[in-house]
Each structure stands twice: as structure tokens, then as C-alpha cells.
Amino acid sequence: MIVSTPPSATADPHDVLGYLLKHAALQLTALIDAALEPFDIDSKDFGALRVLAHREPTSQLEVAKTLGIDRTTMVALLDVLERKGIVTRRPDPADRRRNVVELTAHGFKTYEDAEAAHGRAESEFLGAISPGAVDQLRRTLRTLVEH
Amino acid sequence: MIVSTPPSATADPHDVLGYLLKHAALQLTALIDAALEPFDIDSKDFGALRVLAHREPTSQLEVAKTLGIDRTTMVALLDVLERKGIVTRRPDPADRRRNVVELTAHGFKTYEDAEAAHGRAESEFLGAISPGAVDQLRRTLRTLVEH
DNA sequence: GACTGATCGTCAGTGATGCTGACAATCAGC
DNA sequence: GCTGATTGTCAGCATCACTGACGATCAGTC
């Protein structure tokens, strides 16, 4: 080493991809949580609602797998949503080990409102970059996450 | 709505940016933690080491601010690194409220080895996308994180 | 020089998150 | 009808990073 790390001798953590990904996720989540707060749900809840709104009623495990969370975590998540009257659980007649999870009417309305708010929050977060860069970002992240 | 969400009626969470960012961060962190394991540090520790290696010895608070973590969190982080002989803490003679934090010789060696391993892990994670896309990703994330 | 307010490191306590391990109920294959 | 696997549930635990409080110290003011 001739000179002591020439250009950015500050060791800017913004060079480290892990830092950038983590903090981008944190900031976006905070924005979305704030945007969803009027609907009494948060970003985790929204993820579940989104899956439920676009599917035939499925089991808890299916939803959990889709969201990439544990089935034990799903229990607590649905407990809250059920208490709020957003989803219902009933035993699946075809396989009584399973619970069929469904959005209530109120749940579906909540989802639609939340979807709009979510979109606005995401757009706000992405406001500083061009639409092309947004597409590129989404594609790149998809590739990385899906190996 | 004419038909019920035409193309991807599965509500793929991979469309949601928050999901992508979070899981990209998780996967990368897991890879890096595994790569750093032989050096008895993890990705959080590495962040601190990186800052310390590229700076004049500074206070705990400075390092914490740079890393975007709380000063109370920094205490525990440094406790571990000090116990491992990677950093030293001593009161700043110029301001005895502060601790001067420094890498030990062993700490610096650890950092250099860890830096190489970290780079390999990051490259492995980024293997599926082109170098151009990597640059673009880094720039985009930087813009987003820095508002 | 002594008082006031702010700063730094420390620690205890807290809340959120998401796991493991165990359990009962149920199903599928033989 | 057994046996083993699956589903939902629950208790317990580990991690993480925070808040609030405290003592020690510093800087500015009188």
C-alpha cells in the first residue's frame, strides 16, 4: 500500500452492498408501515393480505411458504388479523388438519385501500430514481433472490 | 377490473420491492456470515472493522454513527471484539468522556483476511448478474438510501 | 473558580422478530 | 388398523436494537 487507501479513505459503509440492501429495506418498510397505519395493519400484514386477495382460499402453511416465513410465525400473524376481522379461519372439510384462510369483506376492502397506500409509499421511496432504473432494480433483485 | 388480475394471479411476493430488498439482504448476510465464520467475526463485526481500519482512531460514537447504529448497541459490539483481542479501548486523553477505539495488530490482520473473504462472498452473491448491473444496482441503492 | 447544560459510555429493561422443539389431531399408504 | 408424515398450536428461547437512566466529563457563562 503506497498511500493509505486513496480515494475514499473514509470506508464509507455505503460501499458495502449489505449495508445498502439492509437500509433500503428498512427505510422502505418504515415508509410503508406509516402509510398503512390508518388501516391498522403493517407491512407484514399487507404481505399476507396480498397473497390471500389473489388466491383461492388456502391453508396457513401455503401462505407462510409463499411469504417465506415459518408456519409458527404465521399463527401469530393470523391471530391478529382474525381478531381485527380481516381474515377468517375454518377447518378445511377436505383435510381437517388444515385451516382454510380467507379474507372477510372488510378484509378485502382493507386490502384494496392498503394496496393503493402501499403503491404510493413505494413510489415515494422510488421518487429519486427513473422509472427505467426502477424496472432494472426490480429485475436485478429478482434474479439475485431467486439465485 | 374486467378479469381477476390477469397475468400473475398468484400475487407473487417477488413483485413487492420490500420483500425483494429484505430477502436479498438476508441472503447476502447469510453468505457473508458463513464466509467470515473462520475469522470468528460476523457481518456486523466486519462493518465496524472496516470503518476502524480506514480511519484514524475515533470514538465509539463516531463509529456508531457511521454504521447507522445506536451508541448503546456499539457498546456490546465492541465488548465482544475487545474480548477477542481485535480492538482496544482507551480513554481519549483530549476528552475523557470518549473512548479511543483502535484495531490491534491481530485485528488488522483479521480485517484484511475478512475483507478478502467478504469480497468473495459478495461476488458469489452477485454471480448471476452482469458487472454492469452490479454497478447500476449499487448506484441505485445509494441514491435511494441517501434520499 | 463554581454552576449549568450538553455529551459520551454504560447498563438494565423492553419490545419486536422469528426461530426450535414438542404436542395433539389428522391424513395417506400399506 | 398401524405407521409415519403433515398441519396448526404453543411455550420457550435467541437475537437485535431500542429507550431511559446514570455517572463522568466537558464547554460556556457568570
Question: Position B57: which residue type?
Answer: P
pLDDT above 50: residue A4: no
| Single pTM value for the model | 0.88
Query: How far is A53 from chain B, CA to nearest CA, in Å?
Result: 8
A99 - beta bridge partners?
A91
What is the predicted pLDDT for the residue at A27?
93
Select from A9, A13, A145 the Cβ nearest to the Cβ of B24.
A145
Q: What pLDDT, in 10s, does the model give residues B35-49?
A: 999 999 999 999 999
- Going along chain A, which residue ranges are E strands? 58-59, 87-92, 95-103
Tell me if residue A122 falls in helix, strand or coil: helix
What does the pLDDT read at residue B71?
A: 94
| CA–CA dist B16, A44 (Å, integer) | 12
**Is residue B124 pLDDT above 80, yes or no?**
yes
Averaged pLDDT of chain A: 89
CATH topology of domain A40-124: Arc Repressor Mutant, subunit A (1.10.10)
Give me chain B's average pLDDT, please.
Answer: 89
Give the residue among B6, B25, B19, B45 at the shortest CA–CA distance from B125.
Answer: B25
| pLDDT greater than 70 at residue B110 | yes
A87 with A14: CB under 8 angstroms?
A: no
- Is B13 close to A53, i.e. CB distance below 8 A? no
Quote the percentage of chain A above a pLDDT of 90: 84
Question: Alpha-carbon distance B73 to B146, whole Å?
Answer: 22
pLDDT of residue A74: 95
| B positions 46-75 inside 8 Å of A (CB) | 47, 50-51, 53-55, 66-68
pLDDT value at residue B147: 77
Mean pLDDT of B15-29: 92
Q: How far apart are CA B122 and CA B113, in angstroms?
A: 14
Whole-Å CA distances, B53 to A146, B46, B84, B90: 34, 10, 16, 17
Phi, psi of A99 (to 5 degrees): -105, 130
Per-residue pLDDT of A71-127, as tens digits, reads: 999 999 999 999 999 999 999 999 999 999 999 999 999 999 999 999 999 999 999
Q: Which of B17, B41, B51 to mutate to test the interface with A (most CBs of A within 10 A)?
A: B17
Mean pLDDT to the nearest integer, A17-44: 93
| Residue A141 pLDDT | 95
pLDDT > 70 fraction of chain A, expressed in percent and rounded: 91
Q: Does A17 touch chain B (CB under 8 A)?
A: yes
Considering the four listed CATH numbers 3.50.50.60, 3.40.50.300, 1.10.10.10, 1.10.3720.10, the one that applies to the domain covering B39-129 is: 1.10.10.10
